[in-house]
Amino acid sequence: MEVKLFYGSTTGNTEKVAKKIADAMKGKIAEVVDIKKASVDDFDFCDGYILGLSTVDEGLLQEDWRRFWDNMEDIDFDGKPVAIFGLGDQVKYGKWFVSAMGEVYDKVTELGANVVGAWPTDGYTYDDTTAVRDGKFVGLVIDEDNQADKTDARIATWVGQIGSAFS
């Protein structure tokens, strides 16, 4: 199964987490691609995707993803597993905590993806988010600004959870 990880990162946090996730998936990820440098062709011939992003500017999707956004319609997500991870800051930006994940979830779901890797909201304290569906975050939530000490364990748990969808 060909799985690629695409991420967008403004200050490098999502990039760092992307690399940790790829390492934790032990050879299951064919390529880790910065969405800033990606084209639609990079999404070809994949059987599954992992998408990583941060939320910036009070609830907005990371800017490289925003620039790429119109291309999403041209990617064949139909029937394929997609796992989403998102970075945010629950203390400073708790009104929009990881909200951009919800936008990505809605788009790939509309395009037929089978989103895997829903994540419990326990352990985070925030005011509001648009990234929760049916009581869970739509994917792995990482807060490098306030809970960096929890990142490695969260990745390990999540990778264990999504592993079967990508093998």
Ligand X SMILES: Cc1cc2nc3c(=O)[nH]c(=O)nc-3n(C[C@H](O)[C@H](O)[C@H](O)COP(=O)(O)O)c2cc1C
List contacts with ligand X (CB under 6 A). 9-14, 54-59, 62, 87-89, 93, 96-98, 144-145
**Shortest Å distance, C-beta 37 to ligand X:** 15
Question: Which tokens is 79 given?
Answer: 């029937």
How far is it, in rounded angstroms, from Cα 164 to Cα 97? 28
Nearer Cβ to ligand X (17/46): 17
Nearer Cβ to ligand X (11/39): 11
Instruction: State the residue number with the nearest CB to ligand X.
Output: 88
Looking up tokens 């800017």 gives 63
Nearer Cβ to ligand X (81/101): 101
**Shortest Å distance, C-beta 22 to ligand X:** 15
Residue 33's closest CA among 59, 64, 63, 56?
Answer: 64
**Shortest Å distance, C-beta 114 to ligand X:** 25
Encode burial over 28-37: b for 16+ CB neighbours within 10 A, e otherwise.
Answer: bbeebbebee
